[in-house]
Structure 1
Amino acid sequence: MTAVGQKYGTELEPVEVVDAELVDTAAPGSGEVAVPDPAAAVLAALEADAHDHLNRIRPKKTRDGYARDWQVWKEFHGWLAERTGTPLPLSAVTVGTFVAFVTYLDQVVQAPPNTIERRITGVTSEARSRGHAVPKEATEAARRALKPLKLDESRRKRGRGKAAAIAPADLRKMAEAPRERPPSPTARRRAVLRVPELARLRDQALNSLKLAVAGRNEEMSLLDDAHIQVADEGLKVHVPSVKGRPPRDVPVTYGEHRATCPVRCWTAWQEAKLTAGADPGGPAFLPVDQWGHLGAARLSPDGVGRALARCAQYAGLTGRRITGHSARRGLVTTGIKKGKRVDKLRRQGGWSANSPVFWEYVDEGAMFEDAPTEGIGF
């Protein structure tokens, strides 16, 4: 162990220093061969040791958060590539890409300003830890682009409060909503937004199946075609494990309405997806761009949540906070009102027996069952 390693109580790995200017001694007119500087070896070892040490002492929650920020950075690059036709390297952290990242988080993801600010910090840290240069002016430009957003009251309210439950009736409104949406009076672009048919079929299948299995965004993103088997009674769905939670196998029966029946919506999307060129046995849900082109990579967890929120917006379901958890809450509250067994609802969504969130949903669904004011003479 070197003296530096003894001081810090850690073993420094030997560092091989290669001088790019070494000259072949046999070449005519060559000078002396450069001798590696021992100090350079120690400095390089200190740099590597410091990087590892700082990463080890960083709280796990912070490490996980920065890793998630980097995943969102990847999703932004995928979104950008779909619209420009040119994929950019993840190392390209410039004024242009970082300001576009802020705009993407604000207008596409509709993230609150404090989340955007955290994403900027996380991406900057992760990029530098991976050896990518992040110019100071790029970070400063991103924060300048964020500054007016932080002053907007409607943006600051994003993400506040609990997710509202959605019911099958809400899904029908989403499925039957107009596929054309005029621009808002304050929009910069005055073009009419049209939902491609392929995206409409994907969203119907995604949203109805999400409610049926009480799926988390991450679970729906990880679903493959092989996880969804068609049976006489409906579908057998293997929901994969996420974040250490156990996987689960759940039944999904036929629905009463074609537009929201998870079985018929899934088969219609599957047929359309394969016709569009998707690989059989690949991801269950794929991105679809504004021109109706099918993507190759699986739909991201954020994409799953945005699909539900966007459909709710098109259907006019305003005034409620529709998020990825709305389907999970909705299955329990609706199931309790319809007299479904609590244990089966819990297993369908993969909640633990003592989950306080699950029992909160149960209480919400049973709120008016034998209510204290019922039948007392009012």
Structure 2
Amino acid sequence: MSDSAELVPHQGAAPAVYDPATLAVLAAMEQVAEEHLDAIRPHNTKRGYANDWALWAEFHDWLAERNGHQLPLTAVTKGTLVGFVTWLDVIKLAAPNSIDRRITGVTVTARAQGVEVPKQATEAARQALKPMKADPERLARGRGKAAAVTPEQLQRMHAAAPASLAGIRDRALWLMAFAIAGRSAEVAALRADGITHVSQGLDVHVPSVKGRPARDVVVAYGKNPDTCPVRAWLTWRAAAGITAGPAFLPISVHGALGSDGLSPSACREIIARSAERAGIAVRLTGHSMRAGFITVSRKAGKREEKIRAQSGHAANSPVFWGYIQEADRWADAASDDIGI
């Protein structure tokens, strides 16, 4: 028998049974292999996986708000993964390719934590994703920054808001998001006792979110009562009877107030739903309020440092300066009044 033939295992052999010492060595080699793969994995990939896992956690919070039970993040099953795909599509309005990457990120991260993710779970998630990849409207998602809301659109959203406690809350929420140029996570983190009514309007403390520094901003009375964030907040505060705790609360279908604050995803849902109800053609997101404030404030002639203080952008933020450039496009245009 040749040396090479000895390398071919006998086809009828029973599975090897390893002694404890061998098993320990194999386990150690598995650990070393995982550490090596993690070390050579690109930084952007690691950051992407971290973002995927953060979304997975947000999805679980969203589920808990609706069924009253918090599932562990390690519950990566056929049901939760398919639900995650649907949530990303319907609630987050994510592009199909982005959803596909999220599935991979959650799966890889869970397995790195020792979770055994069933193959049928990832197969079912991608099966649910398949028709989304054939939808042109879904494929067009994510190709551009959020549309900046305009004062006219805010007025339409006000007119379309229902005459109910939920309608009063929704109006106060998206007007506050606009007035503080707030991220959805910041709006969700606002506290009633951090919003002080003064003669000129509101002093608002925007809490630290995701490592970003907290900031204190002022919100002046608006000239139009329908879109005045100060009046909207005072109306909501009185209607809900809140003086402390989360600024914005969930409301049941029967009109009962919850005690826990809204999640960032719930804030985004309220904004998107309000815009859709008003028949606004462009898709408005939580970021639309932030972008809209910067654009409108700049067009009104406000200084960059004042706008940045309100929005919390860094001085060298390319996103911020992109909004400023867009707002300034027609201000003293290079082609205007040059003798042609």
User: What is the CA-CA distance between 1:252 and the residue it aligns to?
Assistant: 0.7
Equivalent in the alignment of 1:76: 59
Paired AA for residue 97 in structure 1? T
Does 1:339 pair with 2:339? no
Does 1:349 pair with 2:311? yes
Q: Whose helix proportion is higher, 1 or 2? A: 2
Tell me the alpha carbon deviations over residues 141-173 of structure 1, each in whole angstroms, 9 at most, x when there is no partner: 110110111011011111211222112322121
Does 1:302 pair with 2:269? no
Structure 1 contact 91–133 (Cα < 8 Å) conserved? no
Paired AA for residue 369 in structure 1? A
Paired AA for residue 133 in structure 1? E
Structure 2 contact 62–265 (Cα < 8 Å) conserved? no
Equivalent in the alignment of 1:257: 224
Structure 2 contact 100–126 (Cα < 8 Å) conserved? yes
Paired AA for residue 134 in structure 1? V
Equivalent in the alignment of 1:143: 126
SS in structure 2 at match of 1:176: helix
SS in structure 1 at match of 2:102: helix
Percent identical residues: 52
Spell out the pairing of 1:1-378 with structure 2 (5 A cutoff). Answer: 37-177=20-160, 179=162, 197-274=164-241, 281-288=244-251, 292-318=255-281, 320-371=282-333
Structure 1 contact 199–292 (Cα < 8 Å) conserved? yes
SS in structure 1 at match of 2:246: coil
Cα distance in 2 for partners of 1:207, 1:355 equals 24
User: What is the CA-CA distance between 1:282 and the residue it aligns to?
Assistant: 2.7
Structure 1 contact 288–294 (Cα < 8 Å) conserved? yes
SS in structure 1 at match of 2:216: strand
Residues 239/83 of structure 1: CA separation in 2 closer, same or farther (3 Å cut): closer
Residues 169/96 of structure 1: CA separation in 2 closer, same or farther (3 Å cut): same
Cα distance in 2 for partners of 1:233, 1:178 equals 26
Paired AA for residue 205 in structure 2? H
Structure 2 contact 215–312 (Cα < 8 Å) conserved? yes
Equivalent in the alignment of 2:14: none
Tell me the alpha carbon deviations over residues 199-250 of structure 1, each in whole angstroms, 9 at most, x when there is no partner: 3223212211111111122322332334322222211122233454433221
Cα distance in 2 for partners of 1:234, 1:369 equals 30
Cα distance in 2 for partners of 1:265, 1:334 equals 19
The size of the alignment, in residue pairs, is 322
Tell me the alpha carbon deviations over residues 88-136 of structure 1, each in whole angstroms, 9 at most, x when there is no partner: 4433332223222222222233221112112211222232233333110
Structure 1: unaligned runs, 5 residues or longer: 1-35, 180-195
Residues 37/337 of structure 1: CA separation in 2 closer, same or farther (3 Å cut): closer
> With structure 2 as the length reference, what TM-score do the two structures score?
0.81
SS in structure 1 at match of 2:227: coil
Cα distance in 2 for partners of 1:370, 1:86 equals 57
Cα distance in 2 for partners of 1:292, 1:93 equals 34
> With structure 1 as the length reference, what TM-score do the two structures score?
0.74
Structure 2 contact 168–236 (Cα < 8 Å) conserved? yes
